């Protein structure tokens, strides 16, 4: 569409308003970016001679700033697929295109690990000339610029599968020798990588009986637990005859893999080690007993001190009362006779006072006052 007014023309403009030679456009989007040209023209008609037409034009470039978005992320040999299957030892090339202005920081990741990255650009690629079984995974292309930052970055995913026969996973901590004591629950586990994924029946466990390999199945002494790429042989209670060689064979449509294990009896501690354990226990018991004794003694000392302070306070209170109202007569403990009411009353008085005085003055002849 073109608009003109008073000989001024804006070329290749749509959805725009032109007034007095000025172009006005609302809701600018990324498609509006580009080069604009304004052309002015007029006609000169002289009083004599031929008329002449004049032209003049100027251009300007409109740049629209916007955040990044991933336009496409594909494997070049499978451009329309988001789940791609390739054969082991083949090559792949992943291509990612990002639309943004200004340019973006772009990365290609596999299972969260960066494989390739670039900055201030609109595309990136990643090539693997010889894929292996563990090349399979989820690949992602992420891009961002200053208008959407890394926190809300644009991304697209692609799932890559690699057909391969079963083999051990390089990420697992594999052990071929398993130790156990008698009567323990013990597990022998294997984790593989393979595609297609083996079925439950594709994991087969064997036990060496001394002359041949016998196939194992679930019974009341052992269980085979298989799920996905992992299978576990579980002994519910290890007995002497279980200490033997074992083998597992894993198959899929590409090939098969076998791995042997050995279940070994855990070594008993030597006499020196056992003695060290016993001595350690004895030392621990002695130390623990000493700590308990110290604690009991400390509690007893605290109780005695509190009792002493209590008796001292009571004596001072009683002395103060006697000082304020001394109307009793002295009584010699040696002359108190048992069996009388008076004796009981005096004895009750002396039970506390006499005990304290004896402990503090070391006297056996105490005079008590009745009030």
Tens digits of residue pLDDT in 54-76: 888 888 889 999 999 999 999 99
Phi, psi for residue 279 in degrees, rounded to 5: -60, -40
* CATH architecture for the domain at 169-265: Sandwich (2.60)
pTM assigned to the model = 0.61
3-state helix/strand/coil string of the chain: CCEEECCEEECCCCCCEEECCEEECCCCCHHHCEEEEEEEEEEECCCCCCCEEEEEEEEEEECCCEEEEEEEEEECCECCCCEEEEECCCCEEEEEEEEEECCEEEEEEECCEEEEEEEEECEEEEEECCCCHHHCEEEEEEEECCCCCCCCCEEEEEEEEEEEEEEECCCCCCCCEEEECCCCCEEEEEEEEEECCCCHHHEEEEEECCCCEEECCCCCCEEEEEECCEEEEEECCCCHHHCCEEEEEEECCCCEEEEEEEEEECCCCCHHHHHHHHHHHHHHHHHHHHHHHHHHHHHHHHHHHHHHHHHHHHHHHHHHHHHHCCCCCEEEHHHCCCCCHHHHHHHHHHHHHHHHHHHHHCCCCCEEECC
Burial of 108 (0-12, 13-18, 19+ CB in 10 A): buried
Say whether 169-265 and 66-166 share the same fold.
yes
State the fold for domain 66-166. Answer: Immunoglobulin-like (2.60.40)
CB 257 within 8 A of CB 165: yes
Q: Domain extents for the chain? A: 3-62, 66-166, 169-265, 323-371
Q: What is the pLDDT of residues 180-207, one digit of tens each?
A: 999 999 999 999 999 999 999 999 999 9
Token reading at 11 = 């070329």
List the chain residues with pLDDT less than 50: 1-7, 277, 292, 296, 321-371
pLDDT at residue 22, as a whole number: 79
Q: How many CA atoms lie within 13 A of 370 on its CB side?
A: 13
- Is the CB of residue 75 less than 8 Å from the CB of residue 92? yes
């Amino acid at each position: 569409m073109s608009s003109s007014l008073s000989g001024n023309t804006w070329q290749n403009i749509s959805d725009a308003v032109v007034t007095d030679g000025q172009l006005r456009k609302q809701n600018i989007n990324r498609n509006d970016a580009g080069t604009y040209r304004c052309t002015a023209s007029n006609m000169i008609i002289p009083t004599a001679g031929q008329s002449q037409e004049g032209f003049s034009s100027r251009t300007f470039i409109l740049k629209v700033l916007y955040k990044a978005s991933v336009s496409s992320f594909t494997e070049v040999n499978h451009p329309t697929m988001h789940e791609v299957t390739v054969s082991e030892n083949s090559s792949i090339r992943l291509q990612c295109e990002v639309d943004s202005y200004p340019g973006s920081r772009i990365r290609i990741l596999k299972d969260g690990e960066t494989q390739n990255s670039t900055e201030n650009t609109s595309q990136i690629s990643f090539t693997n000339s010889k894929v292996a079984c563990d090349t399979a995974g989820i690949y992602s292309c992420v891009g961002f610029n200053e208008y959407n930052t890394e926190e809300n970055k644009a991304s697209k995913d692609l799932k890559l599968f690699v057909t391969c026969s079963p083999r051990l996973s390089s990420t697992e901590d594999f052990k071929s020798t398993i130790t156990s004591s008698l009567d323990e629950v013990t597990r022998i586990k294997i984790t593989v990588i393979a595609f297609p994924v083996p079925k439950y029946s594709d994991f087969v466990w064997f036990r060496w009986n001394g002359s041949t390999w016998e196939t194992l199945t679930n019974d009341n002494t052992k269980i085979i637990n298989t799920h996905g790429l992992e299978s576990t042989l579980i002994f519910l209670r290890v007995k002497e005859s279980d200490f033997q060689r074992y083998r597992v064979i894993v198959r899929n449509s590409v090939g098969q893999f076998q791995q042997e294990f050995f279940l070994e009896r855990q070594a008993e501690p030597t006499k020196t080690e056992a003695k060290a354990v016993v001595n350690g226990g004895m030392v621990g018991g002695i130390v623990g007993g000493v700590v308990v004794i110290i604690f009991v003694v400390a509690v007893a000392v605290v109780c005695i001190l509190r009792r002493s302070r209590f008796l001292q306070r009571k004596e001072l209170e009683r002395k103060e009362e006697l000082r304020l109202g001394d109307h009793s007569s002295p009584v010699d403990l040696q002359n108190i006779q048992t069996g009388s009411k008076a004796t009981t009353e005096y004895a009750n008085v002396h039970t506390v006072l006499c005990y304290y005085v004896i402990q503090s003055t070391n006297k056996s002849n105490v005079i008590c006052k009745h009030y």
